[in-house]
């Protein structure tokens, strides 16, 4: 009986803690809405010249005990596909403290126009280009996303944010209910009430595409994976940052660009992400890589600049499927050379803990 009473007390304490976190998140979101603040953690100033790359790659070591690759990816606001592609062969769950981990926090911006929200589905990343206030430099916010699972592709093209919902409930569509029940989940609910256990998370932004939302999630360790039925999942803390500053009516452009070409300091770079076969393919994927670089050069540099690209390097980078941008000019550094030149940083942060895999913003020292 004492053990049963202890279990009830522990469960009650956890529910109270979740409720308090839920209440705090709503208060924070409301405060941010009232003062129109854009948090700085995922915010970059847009380049003033023709450059199209933001951020920088970081290498960490001397990692605090009990951290996993998932803890590190969340700390750096990365998704699972990004962190694992940048660290091939590294266990997601067991990391030696002296191991060197690549945090691919350097991003090639999507093709212009840079306005509103642009989501590159294969990159599993959202870019938000807010309207620029007087006297401030243009900025971009970027967040990792979970994307659709196989067979549930998100529509591509232009839409808008048509509504924002705090504490959403989820009436599960019949098609999703049927899928779960066909997979042996006979008691899968047809309705989820608001709260931290809701798969919609606690903040949701509705697009003009039917039943397609950008929202938080009650399973944030899945960010960067293919987990949805067409929606885009954000970390709860990223949803809390984006929600209050995103106006209803904001344009949304959803694109399919597995190979993204960019420019920095006069050099051409390429990053490559796993192509999604759910979208029609009208040629080899390597042709898409060449087309991405060619389009970048044609934008404002002229066709003569194409001679400055090593096309064998383009194909090599495309085949490597690395999120780290690599120069494709003759004599440019290889991925291994880029990593070897980066100064390592100590990672003293404790792991998030199991309770962080909820729909609330986690406590973080």
Residue 3 counted as domain residue: no
Please tell me the predicted confidence (pLDDT) of residue 305. 54
Residue 281 counted as domain residue: yes
User: Checking DSSP bridges between strand 116-120 and strand 106-108, what pairing results, if any?
Assistant: unpaired
Residue 6 counted as domain residue: no
Q: Which domain holds residue 270?
A: 12-365
Residue 4 counted as domain residue: no
Give the relative orientation of helices 285-300 and 311-320 as an angle to the nearest 10 degrees.
130
Please tell me the predicted confidence (pLDDT) of residue 281. 79
Residue 2 counted as domain residue: no
What are the catalytic residues? 215, 231
pTM as predicted = 0.85
In this structure, what CATH number is given to the domain that contains residue 191?
2.40.440.10
- Number of separate domains in the chain: 1
Please tell me the predicted confidence (pLDDT) of residue 301. 54
Average pLDDT over residues 178-206: 78
What's phi and psi for 60, nearest 5 deg?
-120, 155
Residue 92 counted as domain residue: yes
With CA atoms as reference, report the closest residue to 75 among 181, 183, 220: 220
Average pLDDT over residues 62-86: 96
Q: What is the pLDDT of residues 148-169, one digit of tens each?
A: 999 899 999 999 999 999 988 8
pLDDT: which is higher, 35 or 142:
142
Q: What is the pLDDT of residues 275-303, one digit of tens each?
A: 999 998 777 778 899 999 999 988 755 54
Please tell me the predicted confidence (pLDDT) of residue 9. 43
Residue 5 counted as domain residue: no
Residue 303 counted as domain residue: yes
Average pLDDT over residues 171-177: 73
């Amino acid at each position: 009986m004492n053990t049963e009473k202890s279990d009830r007390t522990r469960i009650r304490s956890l529910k109270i803690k979740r409720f308090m976190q839920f209440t705090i998140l709503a208060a924070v979101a409301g405060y941010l809405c009232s003062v129109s603040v854009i948090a700085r953690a995922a915010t970059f100033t847009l380049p003033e010249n023709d450059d199209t790359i933001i951020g920088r790659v970081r290498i960490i070591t001397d990692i605090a005990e009990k951290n996993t690759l998932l803890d590190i990816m969340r700390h750096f606001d990365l998704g699972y596909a990004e962190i694992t592609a940048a660290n091939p062969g590294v266990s997601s769950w067991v990391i030696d403290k002296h191991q060197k981990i690549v945090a691919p926090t350097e991003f090639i911006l999507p093709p212009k126009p840079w306005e509103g929200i642009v989501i590159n589905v294969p990159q599993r990343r959202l870019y938000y280009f807010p309207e620029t206030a007087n006297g401030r430099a243009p900025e971009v916010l970027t967040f990792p996303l979970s994307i659709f699972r196989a067979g549930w592709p998100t529509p591509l093209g232009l839409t808008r944010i048509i509504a924002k919902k705090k504490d959403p409930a989820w009436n599960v569509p019949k098609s999703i209910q049927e899928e779960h029940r066909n997979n042996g989940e006979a008691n899968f609910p047809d309705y989820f009430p608001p709260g931290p256990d809701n798969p919609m998370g606690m903040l949701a932004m509705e697009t003009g595409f039917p039943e397609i939302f950008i929202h938080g999630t009650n399973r944030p360790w899945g960010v960067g994976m293919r987990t949805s039925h067409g929606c885009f999942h954000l970390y709860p803390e990223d949803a809390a940052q984006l929600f209050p500053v995103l106006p209803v009516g904001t344009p949304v452009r959803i694109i399919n660009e597995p190979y993204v070409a960019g420019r920095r300091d006069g050099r051409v770079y390429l990053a490559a992400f796993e192509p999604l076969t759910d979208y029609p393919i009208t040629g080899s994927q390597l042709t898409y890589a060449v087309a991405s670089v060619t389009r970048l050069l044609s934008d404002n540099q002229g066709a003569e600049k194409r001679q400055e690209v090593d096309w064998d390097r383009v194909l090599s980078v495309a085949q490597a499927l690395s999120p780290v941008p690599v120069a494709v000019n003759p004599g440019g550094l290889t991925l291994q050379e880029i990593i070897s030149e980066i100064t390592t940083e100590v990672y003293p942060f404790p792991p998030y803990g199991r309770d962080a895999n909820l729909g609330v913003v986690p406590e973080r020292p």
